[in-house]
């Protein structure tokens, strides 16, 4: 088990390195840098001005070198301009000479500086992640219990009317992407056109104080799309368990149906959905980006859109590191949890 986790951690590290390098390479292509220079300087910069702007800030070094600087294994660039001013990655001209560090990358805990928000990337990401964490918490709170309930109710009597109805409902929710359900919810429950102004169409106020009125629609929108999938997986697992021999034995012994479901079937039926729920979390990230854009909730997804559309290199890298880590960690947890929950695998 220890070796397994160690090997998985190694692969994780390699994947994260490869992915950040790809993001780094794509964001550091020359047209992207040119756009960055023009948005940071001014839009009427000549080509020479652009290249001197980029050169002074270390953008024109070879990509592996820049990547090393970002990681903190290569010394940060230091450019001395003709007029004696110094531009450097790790310090400003005000920093005292003896305090100037040579390395500053993520290994030193320095995530860089956001060119869009003019702020430290680390604190920016932490702040936005907190807001999205709040959203995700409520999403999981709504999605997981209702999906499991739907799946178990549908799966306990395969082919019954309840099963048909719930299965159709879960197909409908899996066919409704967040931007469709969000648009319909806002139009029906928050617009003046239908007259039902039950909720707010914007979740901006939920960042400070979330309440039912301004937070329910975004939470529901994200939950619905994932809910159907988890419910269908739970149903499949439940129907499989309900046909098992030991359930038949229990029925023949005369155990009450509710006891069979609650005491005998449930524990075995919940092994597969655990994996599915864990693997669903990275998918929720997509929903988060869409919903945060639609409801104007300034969390992590909103940050991703801002970083990506403005080619804010260091912010984008931090965002992708976070999302890749989320993906890989949930995969790891789902693998370990599966082994832990299923004694048959553990023994063999």
With 0-12 / 13-18 / 19 or more C-beta atoms within 10 angstroms meaning exposed / middle / buried, residue 44 is: exposed
93/243 with CB nearer another protein:
243
**What is the pattern of x (binds another protein, CB under 8 A) and - over residues 238-277?**
----------------------------------------
Q: Does the protein bind another protein through residue 293 (CB under 8 A)? A: yes
Q: Does the protein bind another protein through residue 136 (CB under 8 A)? A: no
Q: Which of 186, 250, 278, 281 binds another protein (CB under 8 A)?
A: 186
Burial letters 317-348, b for 16+ CB under 10 A, else e: bbbbbbbbebbbebbbbbeeebeebeeeeeee
Percentage helix, strand, coil, to 5, in the chain?
70, 5, 25
Using the 8-state DSSP alphabet, how is residue 64 labeled? H
Separation between Cα atoms, residue 246 and residue 264, nearest integer Å: 8
Q: Does the protein bind another protein through residue 46 (CB under 8 A)? A: no
Burial letters 120-154, b for 16+ CB under 10 A, else e: ebbebbeebbebbebbbebbbebbbeebbebbbbb
Taking the complex as a whole, how short is the minimal distance between the CB of residue 280 and another protein, in angstroms? 14
Q: Which stretch binds another protein (CB under 8 A): 24-32, 90-98, 117-125, 247-255?
A: 24-32
Q: Does the protein bind another protein through residue 86 (CB under 8 A)? A: no
Q: Which of 113, 117, 179, 338 binds another protein (CB under 8 A)?
A: 179
Taking the complex as a whole, how short is the minimal distance between the CB of residue 68 and another protein, in angstroms? 21
Taking the complex as a whole, how short is the minimal distance between the CB of residue 157 and another protein, in angstroms? 8
End-to-end CA gap in the chain:
12
6/175 with CB nearer another protein:
175
Q: Which of 5, 6, 11, 13 binds another protein (CB under 8 A)?
A: 11
Q: Which stretch binds another protein (CB under 8 A): 106-114, 208-216, 265-273, 311-319?
A: 311-319
Separation between Cα atoms, residue 112 and residue 105, nearest integer Å: 7
Beta strands in the chain (DSSP E): 78-80, 86-88, 113-114, 119-120
Q: Does the protein bind another protein through residue 315 (CB under 8 A)? A: no
Separation between Cα atoms, residue 319 and residue 86, nearest integer Å: 29
Q: Does the protein bind another protein through residue 224 (CB under 8 A)? A: no
Q: Does the protein bind another protein through residue 289 (CB under 8 A)? A: yes
Q: Does the protein bind another protein through residue 73 (CB under 8 A)? A: no
Q: Which of 5, 6, 9, 18 binds another protein (CB under 8 A)?
A: 18
Separation between Cα atoms, residue 295 and residue 64, nearest integer Å: 39
Total residues contacting another protein by CB under 8 A comes to: 56
Q: What is the β-pairing status of strands 119-120 and 113-114?
A: antiparallel
Q: Which of 59, 149, 112 is nearest to 319 (CA)?
A: 112
Q: Which of 58, 75, 101, 177 binds another protein (CB under 8 A)?
A: 177
Map residue 312 onto helix, strand or coil: coil
Q: Does the protein bind another protein through residue 31 (CB under 8 A)? A: yes
Site residues, another protein (CB under 8 A)? 11, 15, 18-19, 23, 26-27, 29-32, 34-35, 157, 160-162, 165, 168, 171-172, 174-177, 179-180, 183-184, 186-187, 190-194, 201, 282, 285-286, 289-290, 293-294, 304-305, 308-309, 311, 316, 319-320, 323-324, 327-328
């Amino acid at each position: 088990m220890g070796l397994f986790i160690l090997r998985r951690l190694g692969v994780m590290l390699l994947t994260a390195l490869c992915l950040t390098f790809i993001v780094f390479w794509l964001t550091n292509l020359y047209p992207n840098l040119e756009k960055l220079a023009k948005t940071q300087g001014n839009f009427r910069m000549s080509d020479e001005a652009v290249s001197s702007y980029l050169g002074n800030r270390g953008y024109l070094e070879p990509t592996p070198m820049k990547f090393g600087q970002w990681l903190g294994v290569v010394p940060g660039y230091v450019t001395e301009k003709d007029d004696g001013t110094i531009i450097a990655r790790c310090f400003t001209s005000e920093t005292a000479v003896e305090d100037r560090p040579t390395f500053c990358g993520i290994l030193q805990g320095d995530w860089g500086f956001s060119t869009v928000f003019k702020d430290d990337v680390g604190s920016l990401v932490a702040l936005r992640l907190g807001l999205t964490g709040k959203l995700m918490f409520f999403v999981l709170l709504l999605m997981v219990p209702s999906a499991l309930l739907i799946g178990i109710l549908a799966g306990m009597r395969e082919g019954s009317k309840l099963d048909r109805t719930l299965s159709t409902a879960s197909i409908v929710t899996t066919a409704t992407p967040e931007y469709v359900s969000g648009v319909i919810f806002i139009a029906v429950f928050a617009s003046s056109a239908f007259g039902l102004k039950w909720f707010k169409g914007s979740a901006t106020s939920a960042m400070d104080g979330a309440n039912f009125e301004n937070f329910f629609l975004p939470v529901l929108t994200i939950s619905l799309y994932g809910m159907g999938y988890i419910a269908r997986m739970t149903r499949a697992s439940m129907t499989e368990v309900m046909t098992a021999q030991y359930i038949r034995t229990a029925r023949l012994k005369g155990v009450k149906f509710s006891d069979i479901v609650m005491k005998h079937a449930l524990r075995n039926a919940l092994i597969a959905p655990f994996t599915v729920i864990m693997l669903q979390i990275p998918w929720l990230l997509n929903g988060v980006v869409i919903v945060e854009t639609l409801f104007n909730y300034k969390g992590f997804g909103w940050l991703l859109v801002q970083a990506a559309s403005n080619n804010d290199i260091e912010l984008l890298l931090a965002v992708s590191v976070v999302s890749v880590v989320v993906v890989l960690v949930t995969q790891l947890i789902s693998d370990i949890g599966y082994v832990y929950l299923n004694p048959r695998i553990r023994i063999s």
